[in-house]
Structure 1
Amino acid sequence: MSTYKLVCPHCHARMRIRTSEGQHIFLRIAYMQCTNEACGFVARAEFQMTHEMSPSGMPNPAVRLPVADVVIRRQAMRTADDQPDLLDQLEMERA
Structure 2
Amino acid sequence: MSTTRVHNPCPHCGATGRRRMLRQLTPAVATGYYQCSDPECSAAWAAQTEITHMISESGKPNPRLAIPFRPAFRRSSHTPTAANDGDQNQAALAH
Identify the structure with the greater strand proportion.
2
SS at match of 1:19: strand
1 or 2 for the larger relative contact order (CA 8 Å, sep ≥6)? 1
Compared CA separation, residues 2 and 29, structure 1 to 2 (3 A): same
Count the aligned residue pairs: 71
Unaligned segments of structure 1, at least 5 residues? 74-95
Query: Which of these residues, 11, 14, 38, is aligned with residue 13 of structure 2?
Result: 11
The 5 A counterparts of 1:16-55 are 16-55=18-57
8 Å CA contact 1:2–1:16 kept in 2: the answer is: no
| Distance in 2, Cα, partners of 1:5 & 1:54 | 25
Residue 2 of structure 1: CA displacement? 4.1
4+ residue runs over 3 A deviation: 1-5
8 Å CA contact 2:34–2:44 kept in 1: the answer is: yes
How many percent identity over aligned positions? 30
SS at match of 1:6: strand
| Distance in 1, Cα, partners of 2:12 & 2:33 | 16
SS at match of 2:30: strand
* Letter paired with 2:28: F
* Letter paired with 2:17: M
Identify the structure with the greater helix proportion.
1
